[in-house]
Structure 1
Amino acid sequence: MRATLIDDLPDEKLATAVADLVRPGGRWRKVDRGYTQAQQWIVRWPDGRSVFVKSGTDALTWGWLEAEIGVYAAVDAPWMPRLVASAGDGQGCGPVLVLEDLHEAQWPDPWEDTMVAAVVATLEEVHARTAPAGLPPLSDRRDVLHGWPLVARDPRPFLSTGLAGARWLERALPVLEAASARADLSGDALLHLDLRSDNICRHRGQVKLVDWTWACRGNPVFDTCAWLPSLHAEGGPRPERIAPGQPEFAAMLAGYFCSQAGLPPQQPGSQRRAVQRAQAAAALPWAARELGLPDPGDAPREGVPR
């Protein structure tokens, strides 16, 4: 999905940092995707050169950006955007990451079979890499990913999404929770962990994976599976066509998205919950099919318990 560009002016400190790292001047245009709290920019100069600039807005996004800069410093591969420059604290504005400009690349909207196959092949290359030292293990995020206990404690946010009814949830929850708990997250492969159409493009025939904020090490099959709900929600094939026979990962991913989709927005104007609901709408039926449960979409919609 290609982002929208909006003419805007950066903070003076950020403009100075990019002038020091790359060159001064240029036309700044803000990248509007709505999925991230970080600021993203395309800067283009009169001679045609352009770069992508990413900066944080607070301590949380600064930490995310520092982690992403660490990945670019440790991994050099054709499926990553080319690193132009970076700074740990550019002119007092926090970390700054400057990458090649991929705005004019081919972004999957809609998904085509050839692009899906190219991404699958690229993920095989990514997962053949041993994760750099220092990347956290995927297993550290098990408590966040294993979302069914959160739904069990308070099912109202999930039920408010309309994806299933209370009776269906009562029957399915023990099966889903047990399957999710069995998911094997261990491994040493490099994982991206945030694949969606806004993080995948093809540039000069090469698939590029962008936004490495959540990179970690672990089971590569989970990384592929984590992409599949958004792929299906965006018009791609059912998840089991790409990764058949993965009931535990399907249950875990459904639990994560279902535990998040009905919560209040994290910030005004954020599209995160809408994206998570779309992913939940793809992941939950996938988990049901893998585990032999009734289709949640066929269940009657009882009222949300109060």
Structure 2
Amino acid sequence: MPLARVSYWNLPRVVRNRIEDAIGIVTSASSVGEGMNNSVASLLQTSGGRYFVKALPSDHRWAWTQAREAEIAQYLRPIAPALYARVVDLGWDVLVFEALAGRQADYTPRSADLRHVVDLLTRIGEFPCPDITLRRAEQRLQAYADASNLHYFAGDALLHTDLNNANVIIGRDGARIVDWGWATRGASWLDAAYWVIWLIAAGHSPESAERWAAKVPAWRTAPASGITAFSAANAHLWADVGGTDPDAWTRRLVNAAGSWHGFRSSFEP
């Protein structure tokens, strides 16, 4: 379920003081989006520029994603925003980033943004996976995939794994990607495979979505049986997330993952 949104101004004064020590006096703050994985998500304006702040209560079950994102940020320039500060105090875990200029990517079938996303995924595939502790793809999927198929997902590539179009920002110089809290180590083709589900959710047929994924070089290394196993795992994963009465946002992903798995299964022996 989406997290309840908290205004930046509701953070403790001590926490806001520490943020201002890093970026200067905040003159305005506006919440961004509906709130999925963060309690605070705000654009801040200071005399020196604009910043993006995201925060979770320190005892939240996803607070570990804040630490992961803070640790990996230094390895991601120029495909991701710069991290200016992390503040952990008075029950809050806060990250302060560069605010990217641009708009969320459009994944619909005729969008000109799709080629920018192909370029972005290609660039991510060229980054070496940093020598830090990351979750492994086969471990993340083990509850949803047959044990005999987990080897398909293993590897040493750096993966983002959350290709929600809201995380891809289209700017003057192409696409950049935010929200690296679920960064993962695994098979190099998996980010393109995660993208397939979001493309179907945006209106592509499974065939069209796979054609776009095939433009990413890493996709071409994927065995067909591995792609099918991944589609099955994600159909199970999203069905589990959706439960018996998913909201409209989740139902769209449940249906997309199920549609892709049905397509892949249709030509398996």
Q: Corresponding residue for 2:99? A: 101
- The code of the aligned residue for 2:258 comes to L
**1:253 matched residue in structure 2:** 234
- CA offsets 1:137-181 (integer angstroms, 9 cap, x no match): 2122123443xxxxxxxxxxxxxxxxxxxxxxxxxxxxxx69x94
Residue number among 246, 252, 256 corresponding to 1:278 in the alignment: 252
Long gaps (5+) in structure 2: 215-223
Cα offset, 1:52, TM superposition? 0.3
In the comparison of the two structures, how many residue pairs are matched?
247
Alpha carbons of structure 1 residues 189 and 215: separation in structure 2 relative to 1, 3 Å? same
Structure 1, unaligned stretches of length 5 or more? 147-176, 266-272, 294-306
User: Does 224-233 or 193-202 show the bigger shift?
Assistant: 224-233
- Give the corresponding residue for 2:53: 53
Amino acid at match of 1:56: L
Of stretches 215-224 and 55-64 in structure 1, the one that deviates more from structure 2 is: 55-64
> What is the aligned partner in structure 1 of residue 221 from structure 2?
none
**Aligned counterparts of 1:6 and 1:39: Cα–Cα separation in 2:** 5
Determine the C-alpha separation between the residues in 1 that align with 2:95 and 2:34.
18
Q: Secondary structure at the match of 1:26?
A: strand
Structure ranking higher on relative contact order (CA contacts 8 Å, 6+ apart) = 1
Distance in 1, Cα, partners of 2:183 & 2:264:
27
Distance 2:114 2:144 in 1: 25
Percentage of pairs with the same residue: 24
- Structure 2 residue 134 is the aligned partner of structure 1 residue 135: yes
Q: 1:63 to 1:233 in 2, by over 3 A?
A: same
Q: Does 1:192 align with 2:189?
A: no
* CA–CA separation in structure 2 for the residues paired with 1:243 and 1:49: 36
Q: In structure 1, how many angstroms separate the alpha carbons of the residues matched to 2:37 and 2:76?
A: 24
- Structure 1 289/257 Cα, relative in aligned 2: closer, same or farther at 3 Å? same
TM value normalised by structure 1: 0.71
* CA distance in 1 between partners of 2:31 and 2:15 (Å): 13
Q: Tell me if structure 2 keeps the 8 A contact 1:10–1:28.
A: no
Could you tell me which of 124, 132, 140 is aligned with 1:126? Answer: 124
SS at match of 2:153: coil
* Larger Rg over CA atoms: 1
Cα distance in structure 1, aligned partners of 2:38 and 2:45: 23
Cα distance in 2 between the residues matched to 1:94 and 1:8: 12
Q: Which region of structure 1 is more displaced relative to structure 2, 17-26 or 235-244?
A: 235-244
SS at match of 1:213: coil
- Are residues 43 and 182 of structure 1, via their aligned partners in 2, closer, same or farther at CA, if it must alter by over 3 Å? closer
Q: TM-score, normalised to structure 2's length? A: 0.80
Structure 1 counterpart SS, 2:31: strand
More strand by share: 2
Q: Does 1:116 align with 2:97?
A: no
What is aligned with 1:169?
none
Give me the CA root mean square deviation. 2.8
